[in-house]
Amino acid sequence: MFFSFDGIDGTGKSTQMQLFADFLREAGHDVLTCRDPGGTILGERLREILLHKAEIPLSGRAEMLLYMASRAQLVEEVIRPAVEAGRVVVCDRFLLANVVYQGHAGGLDAEDLWQVGAVATAGTQPDLTFVLDMPVEAAVQRMNRQLDRMESRGQDFMERVRQGFLREAAGRPNIVVVDADRDIPTIQAEIRAIAESRWPTVAGVANQESQA
Ligand code: ADP
């Protein structure tokens, strides 16, 4: 099984993803967490270029393809073997982020991005993506760490990103929007409930039997 977490920065992706991974481990699953871009030697190098090397001129399309290259390697080397081995993969961002940041907010065609993404990942997609959503201003206030390239693009850009996530989620049952403007345990409880409602085994074999 393959889950991803997405949304604008500051919505609590990392926090919720970690709690969800802990929950899955306690339920007896063999969990692998990863991040996109990153997660492989190539991916971490590309991540450095993409997020912290503002001095390297990068066109929108070149940038998009670097994200895709990182993701291609992550799928081939990490995600697909893990899923095939019966592990549960929980990934911080995935193709959807590319579609939204470079497409909806960055001006490339979102449909093109889905198509390039399908080639890069050979069709590997999360079974379920949680999009954490809250007003941009409130998310920015939560962020107390150094701004990276993406985060420094300003609130107009972030607003386009937020709206892009909402538009892509609409009509796609494998992308669920979660209200992130609440306290951490409440959000986590909703995430677990959504996952369990779709796959009862998420809560563990023992729980499933006791419900039967
Ligand atoms: P992201 O990965 O989306 O950028 P983080 O999980 O790193 O977000 O959280 C950003 C900051 O907001 C952290 O300081 C975190 O402790 C805090 N935070 C996360 N979730 C909440 C929440 N529901 N309410 C208040 N603060 C939160």
- The residue-averaged pLDDT of 57-78 equals 96
> Reduced to 3 states, what is the DSSP secondary structure of residue 2?
strand
Contacts of 78 (CB under 8 A, 6+ apart): 32, 34, 39, 40, 89
The confidence score (pLDDT) of residue 212 equals 44
Residue nearest atom 27 in ligand 1 by C-alpha distance: 12
Domain range enclosing 82: 2-205
Ligand 1 centroid to residue 92 C-alpha, Å: 14
Ligand 1 centroid to residue 61 C-alpha, Å: 30
Q: Which CATH number covers residue 167?
A: 3.40.50.300
Indicate whether 212 belongs to any domain: no
Residues with CB under 6 A from ligand 1: 9-15, 142-144, 183-184, 187
- The residue-averaged pLDDT of 181-206 equals 93
Task: Dump pLDDT digits (tens) for 87-142.
Answer: 999 999 999 999 999 999 999 999 999 999 999 999 999 999 999 999 998 898 88
> pTM value?
0.93
pLDDT exceeds 70 at position 171 = yes
Residue 120 buriedness (CB in 10 A; 0-12 / 13-18 / 19+): buried
- The residue-averaged pLDDT of 9-14 equals 94
Ligand 1 centroid to residue 183 C-alpha, Å: 10
Indicate whether 91 belongs to any domain: yes
Tokens standing for 204?
Answer: 């563990």
Buried b (16+ CB within 10 A) or exposed e, 135-147: ebeebbeeeeeee
pLDDT exceeds 80 at position 50 = yes
Looking up tokens 């070149």 gives 62
Ligand 1 centroid to residue 63 C-alpha, Å: 27
Indicate whether 114 belongs to any domain: yes
Residue 51 pLDDT grade (very low, low, confident, very high; cuts 50, 70, 90):
confident
Our count of domains for the chain comes to: 1
